[in-house]
């Protein structure tokens, strides 16, 4: 793994004044324009947003989205791209001018209200060809002709709106930021005072949130938001600030909306049709049409079975699209939602990313090999190349939507057959909709099993395949150090767990499992490439593959009667996330970003992380690599050599990411993962000194990425004092400022810092 050297920048930050100077190289931009979804190699140079960039890590450069050079996701793209300087264009072209005329900063809107962004854009020496609109750094729409405007219904909360104008020569300019706030509608006994994150509350204030009423006990904490949100998941924090008064009576619960639209779609040809798809449920009312806003206006989704609303939409470009929408009930309850879809170009590697010759080189001594002649008997060959290809083709028709209650392992699963376009709910855990769970938000992930070894550029796809096959090779190995071809040529040698093949033994039965009870007389011992074991795993994979848990529960022996089905069970395990574990697929293709909690436990993308997912409780975290891990690495290095790709995700080839001895294995539920954009506070070093203090106290913090920062100090009763910083964009570096409290009384004060949507509050004591 490459090590990055961070230059620590020291700034003096005064509450009422900031001053920065930024210098950069300039040069003529002769490089091609960056295109999201294009495959890039290490060393490729592109231009984007008026700057030149050089690709540092080919795999990441090809991912697009947050890895687009110069984008707003500064936690991601600088790891992939190096900034070479700003473009002078090589000519006298002047950049366009753009400003947002409406809305203006501090405008407020209600849920469901349509916001019209109106921008004015001009170009002195050419013409403006487009204005792209952004909310919180994410593109939400584009207009290619004046008057430049976009209509949408933003979700509740505080948002930053910007517009980027582009002229006919490719020069771009971003407008000033406009801050807006969207609040839920009032009305009803409980709805009269909805809690709004970021609002200043004083002791005694009453609010409603998550269907319950709360009274503020400590104004300073009540105003902090974040972990102090009343009724939130941080039960170590908010009860200190709020008193729960009981459930709402007479109020209206707005519809619950879950977005089921796939977030990434690969296609080899444009335009491509993708359905907008959501589930909308209203516990105490009747849903009215679910509306989605598009650049051309708004339209309702068509109601389907199982509370599903759906409508097809055509996409004509390879890029990320963001749409907003809302569901409204008959009692004026409104829930806003957003849909983000990235259309990526499918990069063809031929009919298959792995040829039959390469597959046979991987597994020359697989199941069916005669131990006297060391030759493979075609009549006994179970793990054939064709079975592997057939398994991939079968899996390509399956899409699963995972809906999980935050902070739990309770799921609702919806299976979609992509051939027939038919969907059905295949599992709802018993307490998923329990009363005590209703207030917990639903986290959704759509998994397209057709992306197995089919996501990213050719290098990424081959490396994922090598990692997958290396892991199943170790699970089924029959090799030894002096074996013909070497130990690592003997993967896929066993079809069933040793001691069970060819016997009537019965084992691995969980007799007490309610959801997946074992069938009489059936054994659920390890079968297939991943050695699928226990009735509950046979039941789950049967639900995913067939939509019916009983097919493999009643007939587990099918796994060793159909080679393609055997491979399907392994692909299922590889592709399926198991919270808090990500899927091994997402790890190898770059979709998984370690949280702060993961980083503290040395979890990082690479082969080692896939081992942690598959068998980390036994093989990882010991401080030294287990022999099984070294064998997995041996298979992996052999396979990556055959297909000609490097073995690490950072384009190095030292296998520094292959082991898991230093990784903490997964044992139970963990703190809920936050997206990278909300990890800033946890990644930021903060300090207050001295504390307690007499007259002067100093605050310091170090930013590892550019971030909008808000700071204020409040008294014990929640009153904000006269000095504050509001949503100030700060660059990476270290900041320090001091507060003179000589005119303030002794007592307790609270220092609150907000970065993005995350807030931390520190208690200070003045003597």
Give the residue numbers marked as catalytic. Answer: 475
CA distances from 203 to 198, 219, 221, 717, 752 (A): 16, 5, 10, 6, 17
Give which of 205, 281, 273, 300 is closest to 245, Cα–Cα: 205
Token couple for 709: 């920062």
Task: Tell me how far apart the alpha carbons of residues 531 and 546 are, in angstroms, rounded to a whole number.
Answer: 19
- H or E stretch covering 389: helix 385-395
- Which pair of tokens denotes residue 287? 């849903």
Looking at the DSSP bridge assignments, the partners of residue 728 are: 709
Is 661:622 a contact under the CB 8 Å cutoff?
Answer: yes
State how far the Cα of 742 lies from the Cα of 353, in Å rounded to an integer.
70
CA distance 83 to 77: 10
φ, ψ for residue 83, nearest 5 deg: -80, 125
CA torsion through residues 630, 631, 634, 640, sign: negative
* CA angle at 136 for the pair 130 and 139, rounded to the nearest 5°: 30
Tally Cβ neighbours within 10 Å of residue 540: 23
Spatial separation of the C-alpha atoms in residues 92 and 52, rounded to whole Å: 18
Looking only at the bridges linking them, the beta strands covering 172-174 and 51-55 are: unpaired
Residues whose CB is less than 8 angstroms from the CB of residue 160 and which lie 6 or more positions away in sequence, other chains included: 135, 136, 137, 177, 178, 179, 708, 727
| Pairing assessment for the beta strands 51-55 and 720-730 based on DSSP bridges | unpaired
Phi first, then psi: what are they for 239, rounded to 5°? -65, -20
User: If you count DSSP H runs as helices and E runs as strands, how many of each does the chain have, helices first?
Assistant: 14, 37
> What distance in Å separates the CA atoms of residue 650 and residue 216, rounded to the nearest whole number?
49
**End-to-end CA gap in the chain:** 49
Asked if the bond preceding 690 is cis, omega within 30° of 0, the reply is yes
């Amino acid at each position: 793994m490459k090590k990055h050297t961070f230059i620590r920048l020291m700034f003096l930050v005064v509450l009422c004044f900031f001053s920065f100077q930024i210098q950069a190289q300039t040069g003529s931009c002769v490089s091609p324009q960056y295109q999201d979804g294009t495959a890039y190699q290490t060393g490729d140079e592109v231009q984007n947003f008026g700057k030149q960039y050089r690709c540092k890590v080919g795999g990441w450069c090809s991912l697009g989205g947050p890895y687009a050079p110069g984008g707003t996701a500064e936690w991601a793209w600088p790891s992939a791209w190096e900034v070479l300087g700003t473009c002078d264009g090589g000519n006298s072209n002047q950049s366009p001018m753009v400003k947002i005329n409406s809305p203006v900063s501090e405008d407020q809107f209600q849920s469901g209200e349509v916001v019209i962004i109106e921008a004015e854009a001009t170009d002195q020496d050419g013409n403006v060809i487009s204005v792209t609109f952004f909310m919180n750094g994410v593109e939400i729409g584009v207009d290619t002709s004046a008057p430049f405007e976009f209509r949408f219904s933003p979700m509740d909360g505080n948002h930053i709106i910007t517009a980027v104008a582009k002229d006919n020569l490719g020069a771009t300019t971003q407008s000033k930021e406009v801050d807006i706030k969207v609040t839920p509608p009032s009305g009803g006994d409980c709805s009269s005072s909805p809690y709004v994150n970021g609002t200043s509350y004083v002791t005694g204030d009453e609010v409603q949130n998550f269907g319950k009423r709360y009274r503020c006990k400590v104004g300073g904490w009540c105003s902090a938001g974040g972990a102090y949100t009343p009724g939130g998941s941080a039960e170590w924090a908010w009860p200190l600030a709020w008193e729960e008064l009981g459930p709402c009576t007479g109020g209206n619960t707005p519809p619950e909306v879950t977005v089921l639209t796939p977030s990434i779609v690969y296609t080899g040809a444009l335009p491509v049709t993708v359905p907008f798809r959501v589930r909308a449920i209203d516990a105490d009312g009747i849903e009215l049409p679910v509306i989605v806003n598009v650049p051309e206006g708004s339209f309702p989704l068509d109601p389907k079975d199982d509370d599903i609303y759906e409508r097809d939409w055509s996409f004509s470009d390879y890029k990320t699209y963001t749409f907003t929408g809302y569901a409204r009930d008959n009692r004026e309850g409104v829930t806003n939602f957003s849909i983000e879809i990235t259309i990526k170009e499918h990069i063809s590697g031929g009919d298959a990313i792995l040829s039959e010759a390469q597959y046979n080189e991987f597994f020359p001594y697989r199941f069916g090999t005669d131990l006297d002649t060391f030759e493979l008997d075609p009549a006994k060959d179970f793990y054939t190349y064709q079975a592997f290809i057939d398994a991939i083709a079968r899996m390509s028709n399956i899409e699963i939507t995972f809906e999980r209650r935050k902070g739990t392992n309770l799921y609702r699963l919806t299976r979609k057959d992509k051939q027939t376009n038919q969907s059905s709910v295949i599992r709802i855990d018993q307490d998923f909709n329990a009363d005590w769970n209703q207030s917990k938000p639903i986290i959704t992930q759509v998994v397209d099993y057709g992306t197995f070894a089919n996501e990213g550029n050719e290098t990424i796809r081959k490396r994922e395949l090598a990692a997958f096959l290396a892991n199943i090779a170790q699970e089924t190995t029959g090799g030894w150090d002096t074996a013909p071809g070497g130990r690592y040529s003997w993967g896929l040698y066993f079809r069933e767990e040793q001691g069970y093949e060819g016997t009537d033994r019965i084992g691995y039965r969980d007799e007490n499992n309610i959801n997946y009870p074992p069938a009489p007389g059936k054994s659920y011992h390890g079968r297939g490439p991943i050695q699928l074991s226990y009735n509950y795993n046979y039941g789950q994979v049967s639900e995913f593959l067939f939509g019916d848990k009983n097919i493999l529960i009643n007939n587990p022996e099918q796994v060793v009667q159909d080679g393609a089905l055997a491979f399907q069970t392994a692909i299922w395990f590889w592709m399926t996330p198991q919270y808090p574990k990500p899927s091994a697929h997402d790890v190898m293709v770059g979709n998984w970003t370690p949280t702060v909690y993961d980083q503290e436990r040395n979890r990082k993308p690479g082969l080692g992380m896939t081992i942690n997912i598959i068998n980390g409780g036994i093989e990882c975290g010991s401080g030294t690599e287990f022999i099984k891990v070294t064998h997995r690495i041996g298979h992996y290095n052999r396979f990556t050599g055959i297909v000609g790709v490097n073995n690490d995700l950072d384009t190095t080839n030292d296998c520094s990411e292959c082991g898991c001895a230093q990784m903490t294995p997964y044992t139970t539920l963990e703190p809920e993962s936050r997206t990278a954009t909300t990890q800033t506070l946890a990644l930021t070093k903060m300090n207050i000194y001295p504390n307690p203090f007499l007259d002067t106290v100093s605050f310091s913090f170090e930013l590892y990425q550019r971030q909008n920062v808000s700071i204020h100090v409040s008294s014990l009763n929640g009153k904000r004092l006269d000095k504050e910083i509001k949503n100030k964009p700060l660059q990476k570096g270290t900041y320090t400022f001091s507060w003179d409290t000589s005119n303030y009384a002794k007592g307790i004060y609270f220092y609150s810092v907000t970065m993005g949507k995350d807030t931390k509050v520190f208690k200070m004591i003045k003597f």
